[in-house]
Amino acid sequence: MDIHVRSLRDTQEYTDDDGVSEALGVPPSQWSLFGVLWESSFTLARLMFDYSLQGRRILEVGCGLGLASLVLNQRLANISATDHHPDTEEFLRRNVELNGDAAIPFVRAGWTDCNVGLGRFDLIIGSDLLYERGHAETLSTFIDQHAMPVCEVVIVDPGRGQLSRFGKLMVARGYSDVQLKSSGVVGEGEPSRGQTHSYVRS
């Protein structure tokens, strides 16, 4: 599968001339994080390349550049995406155009936002999301608000220290926790790092 991605050159690129990002709580030190491809995003994208879809409605949470969403979109999956960063939508739109595919529905939302109009999903995916203290609580709550009664959640985490807490919260919400085997490579010949977990509620 040939996927084209427009990204920032590196994490040093920064622009927030109108202060929109800062007003939404995105500090200058984190502004550019959405716009580069991280190892975990490659791992998730490779996993979604042949993941069983079974007609499920899918949501990528904290999508950033949306590499996994682009892969699923080429597979003609029912994929939607969300991210807190105000520039994500435009990057995702341009990347969909680069690949000549149908538009991916996108909603800008933070994990503490309510009534954002996303609806509920059968499969919720994300990569490298748990990078601050408190994210385990807010992410698990957001996911549960948008999960169908029968739902699977796939999270790729590079080892930032919050995955165990997140897993316990998901289990408390009625999900079983299964660690998935890595595909082994994240891209450009680099070894996969971190853990991939599937949380299933049936």
pLDDT tens digits along 33-42: 777 898 999 9
Task: Give the other-Cβ count within 10 Å of 112's Cβ.
Answer: 12
- The pTM for the full model equals 0.87
Topology (CATH) of 37-201: Rossmann fold (3.40.50)
Give residue 172's pLDDT: 97
Q: How far apart are CA 120 and CA 105, in angstroms?
A: 14
The CA-based dihedral angle spanning residues 99, 87, 170, 180, taken in that order and rounded to the nearest 10 degrees:
30
Query: What are the residue boundaries of the structural domains of the chain, listed by start?
Result: 37-201
Predicted local distance difference test score (pLDDT) of residue 16: 62
| Share of residues in the chain with pLDDT > 90 (%) | 65
Distance of CA 42 to the CA centre of its chain: 11
Tell me the pLDDT of the chain averaged across its residues: 87
- 195-201 and 190-191 as β-strands: parallel, antiparallel, unpaired? unpaired
